[in-house]
Structure 1
Amino acid sequence: MSIRAPPRLLELAGQSLLRDQALAVSAMEELPRVLYLPLFMEAFSRRHFEALTVMVQAWPFTRLPLGSLMKTLHLETLKALLEGLHMVLTQKDRPRRWKLQVLDLRDVDENFWWPGAWALSCSPEATSMRQTAEDCPRMGEHQPLKVFIDICVKEIPQDECLRYLFRWVYQRRGLVHLCCSKLVNYLTPIKYLRKSLKIIHLDSIQELEIRNMSWPRLIRKLHCYLKEMKNLRKLIFSRCHHYTSDNDLEGRLVAKFGSVFLRLEHLQSLKIKLVTFFSGHLEQLIRCLQNPLENLELTCGYLLEEDVKCLSQYPSLGYLKHLNLSYVPLFRVSLEPLGALLEKVAATLETLILEGCQIHYSQLSAILPGLSCCSQLTTFYFGRNFMSVDALKDLLRHTSGLSKLSLETYPAPDESLNSLVRVDWEIFTPLRAELMRTLREVRQPRRIFIGPTPCPSCGSSPSEELELHLCC
């Protein structure tokens, strides 16, 4: 007998039972545990909704990872399962066999449905361990059922399945907790996002991304929700804009927004694209950070000298692994604070992105000592800055100790640019060869890109696949 024979026999048994749906429904309470998963999968694939409704009422496992079985939510299937759950949740005395604590609608834990897991979950050892934990009487009131889902709100009207789920949870608040580890909001008006936040268990949110909103409106309307997301790890604001020229008002709003961070004790990653709103007020935000960040991205906007200065002054930025300041013009500010920050995070920094910062070669000396100490650095983007050949050589020599550097980009030297600030390839090609010789004198590069991006000749851009860009 082959090793695949037992699961196949179970599948055949399930198919046979489901041919008589009335019999299948009546048999659920006494169905052997070893048949439960294959029978559920068979009922799911054939959309036997009545069987699904009954099966979920006698679910003998603590978890039901439905999302890994149903990659895209199907409304009728969801309705059938939620109807069965409603029947259980509203009972004072719940079925003896029902053990469900978590309904997971995320695409996780595919191994749960693996045929080999059926036998393991029903082995004498596993059964004994489960009985020890599950047969103990529960203390006090029933615990709420937790429903986990990752939500991307980007359409009005909302996705029909999501709208149905929200309504179902809202009508059973107290019996059900809707937990959302990742919430992304695109173009949805803020009132719809607020409706979602009123239903979601806020301390379950670990990753929040908000796009295309007005900063003043965002801070005023979402402040009270953000401060309750106490387990937030990753916070992203992308292309949020502002329409006020009142600097005092901006300062008050940033202070109010900063107070949110006093509650976010687990925050590890902060990304703000279009950072101009915080220009002149960044310190009010940074000083409120409670947990050392691993990732800080402040991109595509203007910062003042005092903003850059504060980056090296607070312990919350002392253990960064990833720092991205791309497309924040720095040619008018002193880079000594940035150099001090690099020295501070030298033992942890793995990614440094200074692409498009318009750094002038006369400023370079301020960051070289700190950069040369970043022994863990693996990725360094420095393209689209204003560097002479001599400055680039100096920069490359200062990377001699960066043995882990595996992806790096540099601009074409100023000497190779014509009057239209475009690369003159006849001049650039020998200069690039000279720069590569300088680099190879101190270390052997892995993936390196010197010149304009993307390359106007071959169209290539820096990537993990790029070994060495030598297009002429």
Structure 2
Amino acid sequence: MSIRTPPTLLELAGRSLLRDQASAISALEYLPAELFPPLFIQAYHRRMRKPLKALVHAWPLTVLPLGSLMRLPPFMDLQAVAAGLIQEVEVDYTWDLPTLGTFALYLGQMSNLQSLALCHIKHLKKLYLESPSFLRGRLDQMLRCLQTPLDKLSIWLCWQLTHSDLTHLFQCPNLRQLKSLRVYAANLTDFSPEALRALLEAVTPTLQDLRLGNCGMVDSQVEAILPVLSRCHQLRDFTISENHLSVATVKKLLCHTAWLRSLELQLYPVRLECYRTQETVDQERVALIRAELMETLRELGQPRTIRLDTKYFSCREFYLLAFS
């Protein structure tokens, strides 16, 4: 015999409040914030369109549980939600293909959206291989349908993105006012840098945060974006760690970012030759590289602090180089 979990006090309070929809709507401005999520789910379960719309417009928290809503049996479209919630959206791997595709159709109705994060897309590997156009088509659709430019775009663990996907991404007109671009674990090894360079060219007046970590970038790709990078005068954080760059290229990066007065965080990779077997670091080689880069900092004569980052989590270390 199974024992049902009794409802919480918050759930009971929500049920009581929703018995009278008009009273529930008028009481929203006096409700504690913690009552909104259970009330939101209950209103959806009970197909109460007016209270649901009112809840979205009065939402006091930074997160609205869209994932929970989309896993429930549908009774209405998401126009009530899209017309509100929404300044930041994060899409996680827990959403399956149909859910992600359905949600993509409503991004264009989110008139207040400023930040879009696509996380852990590698978990859709099988779906992507079965339908090679899925990510490209959906990614392009999700970005093209936006009515307002994004401030922030984060893409994490997306090794299955093709060069075509990335080209579509970097050419999206709604990214032309980005303040933050974070790409981690996307395969840029053979990617032509023209699209990325064009995007950086467009966002030089606004870009504050640029992170290209563990993307398989090589010297020639980095050198292609150096001139435009040197004009990103609002840049505060710059990360290009866990990439296969030579010391010569890191020196060029130091030279081209030397006059970016707002730049505070700079994270560069430890050269691959500094690793031994078993993912351990050769400290003597690291010391030589640090000395070489320190000399470059002295020659530039600009006070700054940079960090070198090792690639493997088993030996994750940061090496500080400071010149003042």
Q: TM-score, structure 2 length as denominator?
A: 0.75
Displacement of 1:445 in angstroms is 5.0
**Secondary structure, aligned partner of 2:22:** coil
1:351·1:380 contact (CA, 8 Å) conserved in 2? yes
1:211·1:237 contact (CA, 8 Å) conserved in 2? no
1:377·1:402 contact (CA, 8 Å) conserved in 2? yes
1:190-233 CA-to-partner distances (Å, cap 9, x unmatched) read x88953995542233474365988xxx75995982366332311
1:208 paired with 2:208, answer: no
Amino acid at match of 2:18: Y
After TM superposition, list the pairs within 5 Å mapping 1:101-116 onto structure 2.
none
Displacement of 1:321 in angstroms is 0.8
1:408·1:448 contact (CA, 8 Å) conserved in 2? yes
**Aligned mates of 2:305, 2:6 — CA distance in 1:** 44
**Secondary structure, aligned partner of 1:176:** helix
The answer for the alignment partner of 2:127 in structure 1 is none
Amino acid at match of 2:136: G
CA distance 1:283–1:419, shift in 2 (3 Å): same
**Secondary structure, aligned partner of 2:116:** strand
**Aligned mates of 2:72, 2:254 — CA distance in 1:** 43
**Aligned mates of 2:47, 2:253 — CA distance in 1:** 48
**Aligned mates of 1:320, 1:305 — CA distance in 2:** 21
**Secondary structure, aligned partner of 1:368:** helix
**Aligned mates of 2:214, 2:263 — CA distance in 1:** 20
1:171 paired with 2:29, answer: no
Displacement of 1:331 in angstroms is 1.6
The answer for the alignment partner of 2:307 in structure 1 is 449
Displacement of 1:350 in angstroms is 0.7
CA distance 1:270–1:400, shift in 2 (3 Å): same
1:270 paired with 2:127, answer: no
> Which range moved further: 392-401 or 425-434?
392-401
Aligned with residue 156 of structure 2, among 295, 299, 323: 299
After TM superposition, list the pairs within 5 Å mapping 1:9-48 onto structure 2.
none
After TM superposition, list the pairs within 5 Å mapping 1:62-461 onto structure 2.
160-177=8-25, 178=28, 194-195=44-45, 200=52, 201-205=55-59, 207-208=62-63, 221=74, 224-225=77-78, 228-231=81-84, 232-242=86-96, 250=97, 256-276=102-122, 277=124, 279-281=135-137, 282-302=139-159, 303-419=161-277, 422-442=280-300, 444=302, 446-452=304-310
**Aligned mates of 2:33, 2:189 — CA distance in 1:** 37
CA distance 1:398–1:420, shift in 2 (3 Å): farther
Displacement of 1:169 in angstroms is 2.6
Structure with bigger gyration radius: 1
Displacement of 1:402 in angstroms is 1.5
CA distance 1:274–1:454, shift in 2 (3 Å): closer
**Aligned mates of 2:73, 2:19 — CA distance in 1:** 28
CA distance 1:320–1:221, shift in 2 (3 Å): farther
Structure showing greater relative contact order (alpha-carbon pairs closer than 8 Å, 6 or more residues apart): 2
1:208-259 CA-to-partner distances (Å, cap 9, x unmatched) read 365988xxx75995982366332311112234254xxxxxxx5x86654332
**Count of matched residue positions in the alignment of Structure 1 and Structure 2:** 295
Q: TM-score, structure 1 length as denominator?
A: 0.54
2:275·2:282 contact (CA, 8 Å) conserved in 1? yes
**Aligned mates of 1:367, 1:404 — CA distance in 2:** 19
Amino acid at match of 1:259: L
CA distance 1:181–1:208, shift in 2 (3 Å): farther
CA distance 1:167–1:181, shift in 2 (3 Å): closer
Amino acid at match of 1:304: T
Indicate the percent of aligned positions where both proteins have the same amino acid. 29
CA distance 1:182–1:435, shift in 2 (3 Å): farther
**Aligned mates of 1:259, 1:181 — CA distance in 2:** 32
Displacement of 1:378 in angstroms is 0.5
CA distance 1:165–1:352, shift in 2 (3 Å): farther
Amino acid at match of 2:15: R
**Secondary structure, aligned partner of 2:213:** coil
2:158·2:187 contact (CA, 8 Å) conserved in 1? yes
Amino acid at match of 2:145: C
**Secondary structure, aligned partner of 2:266:** strand
**Aligned mates of 1:300, 1:350 — CA distance in 2:** 22
Amino acid at match of 1:272: L
1:207·1:235 contact (CA, 8 Å) conserved in 2? no
**Secondary structure, aligned partner of 1:410:** strand
CA distance 1:221–1:469, shift in 2 (3 Å): farther
